[in-house]
Amino acid sequence: MKLFFVVLDGVADEPIKEFGNSTPLEAAETPNLDYLASNGITGRIRIMGKYAPETDTGVMALFGFDPLKYHRGRGPLEAYGIGYNFKEGSLALRGNFATVEKNRVVDKRAGRIQSKEARKLVNEINDNVKLEDVKFELLHALNYRVVLIMKTTKFKFSHLITNTHPGYKRLRGHLEVAVKKESKMYRLCKPLVKRKSAILTAKVVNEFIDKTREVLEQSSINKRREKRGLKKANMILFRGAGTELPKLENLKKKYGLKWFCIGDTPAERGIARLLGMELIKGLPEPECDKLSSSSNIKEIKKAVRKDMRIRAKAVKDNLSRYDAFYLHIKGADPFGHAGLPEHKRVVIEGIDKWLIKKLVDLSDLENDVVIITSDHTTSCVARAHTATPVPVLIAGRGMESDNINKFGESFVKRGSLKTIKATQILEAVMDRIGDFS
């Protein structure tokens, strides 16, 4: 018996006028998702109550851990996800290479700069930036994504600082949410409380950003990008400060299952590692992550096909070695942020054709269990994450059909699961199927 837990990052959406008020998921031709829905139970998951979740908080909730209680900042998670053994008391922040002109944020991902150039910029920063009383290490994660680690013996770091990334608001505590109306102006890091630790932490983050910007402006890599008509990566936008990792229960100890994670980005890999999963090694950087709003449909189809075939093969090759598979699939989310529903629809169809079809072929619904859901809604209308519940299907052992024949947001509202909390989903499945052996 096998368990397949598939998280389609940001696949959920809102009704789109050009699709006749269907969502991209509903407008897509998804015979394999529909097959699983019609042979299982469906419903909706409320990920994080009134808050619009991010990938890290969404995934944490789906595996049974309330982010309001367990979350400790995205920075430490991403550091852990790229293999860095983060030590409590250090400071970690997630960063994006970005393009800024006269303190106006032109592009939050620097034209989706790819890893080859991004790594060189990271090396230039590590070689040329020096901070007083603080040691740092800038780590490359994936394409435009980086993680900043800081250490000091002179003062205590605090996570209670604001994000400099304009798309995410830091609430008091560790939680951050997508803002409803995004500022285009770059903002300094500020302390959230009037404590020495927070004041000094914000100060050193701003010092790092200023010195980094000087290096990036002078970089030959950026000068070449300008000549090629590409956006400069002349700033790093930070968010998700944290000084410790969350303490999550090992899933193998909890359920007796040996888990395998097939995921691309540091956030989900960090959570999977904390949960005791083995992470896939040597996974090529996803082609879908290199796509942009200017990519044509042919390019999108080619990228999705390549990415999904690789992930499907990874499941097949490891089927005998593991009991449970967590697949985190990123492809649809960026086009929600870009406000491109047709591009998102095409990605969803490719996922269904090249990945979900393979899972249907590999699974035995008499004995195995397939869970498919999303970590958050990424609205093409708002171009951001929202708190709207996401669809879920559970097919296989112990699941009697609730006669929902289409996997889509409006269809699963009638499903037998109704609307449940994300923290309940895995526990409910394990209770329902009984002994997993």
Is pLDDT of 363 > 60? yes
Q: Is the dihedral of CA 337, 339, 341, 347 positive or negative?
A: negative
* Cβ contact 251:276 at 8 Å: yes
Instruction: Bin 365: left if φ > 0, else alpha if -120 < ψ < 50, else beta.
Output: alpha
Q: Where are the alpha helices (DSSP H) in 129-244?
A: 196-218, 220-227
Is pLDDT of 371 > 80? yes
| Buried residues in 2-34 as b, exposed as e (16+ CB within 10 A) | bbbbbbbbbbbbbbbeebeebbbbbbbebebbb
Using only C-alpha atoms, the chain has a radius of gyration, in whole angstroms, of 21
Mean of the pLDDT values across residues 385-395?
97
Q: For position 182, what pLDDT does the model report? A: 82
**Coil, helix or strand at residue 342:** helix
CATH superfamily of 3-70+248-433: Alkaline Phosphatase, subunit A (3.40.720.10)
Is pLDDT of 435 > 80? no
Q: For position 399, what pLDDT does the model report? A: 93
Q: Is 298 exposed, middle or buried (0-12, 13-18, 19+ CB in 10 A)?
A: exposed
Instruction: Return the residue matching tokens 């389609």.
Output: 8
- The H or E element spanning position 142 is strand 135-142
388 pLDDT tier (thresholds 50, 70, 90): very high
pLDDT digits (tens, 9 = 90+) for 4-31: 999 999 999 999 999 999 999 999 999 9
DSSP state of 387: -
Q: For position 289, what pLDDT does the model report? A: 84
Q: Is the dihedral of CA 216, 217, 220, 221 positive or negative?
A: positive
Dihedral angle over CA of 425, 304, 283, 333, nearest 10? -50
For 181, 343, 357, the CA distances from 337, given in Å and listed in that order, are 13, 11, 27
Q: For position 148, what pLDDT does the model report? A: 99
Give start-end residues of each CATH 3.40.720.10 domain in the chain: 3-70+248-433
Q: For position 332, what pLDDT does the model report? A: 96
* Cβ contact 241:159 at 8 Å: yes
Mean of the pLDDT values across residues 104-127?
96
* Cβ contact 259:273 at 8 Å: no
Q: What is the DSSP string of 68-113?
A: HHH---HHHHHHHHTT----BTBEEEEEEEEEEETTEEEETTTTT-
306 pLDDT tier (thresholds 50, 70, 90): very high
Instruction: Return the residue matching tokens 């300094």.
Output: 188
For residue 136, what are the β-bridge partners?
150
Q: Token pair of 162, please?
A: 């604001």
Q: How many CB atoms lie within 10 A of CB 367?
A: 12
Q: Token pair of 327, please?
A: 């697949």
Q: How many CB atoms lie within 10 A of CB 339?
A: 15
Angle of helix 341-351 relative to helix 297-318, nearest 10 degrees, comes to 30
Is pLDDT of 437 > 70? no
Is pLDDT of 436 > 60? no
Length of the chain: 437
Q: How many CB atoms lie within 10 A of CB 297?
A: 11
Is pLDDT of 423 > 80? yes
Mean of the pLDDT values across residues 149-153?
98
Q: For position 212, what pLDDT does the model report? A: 98
Q: How many CB atoms lie within 10 A of CB 360?
A: 19
DSSP state of 409: T
* Cβ contact 42:407 at 8 Å: yes
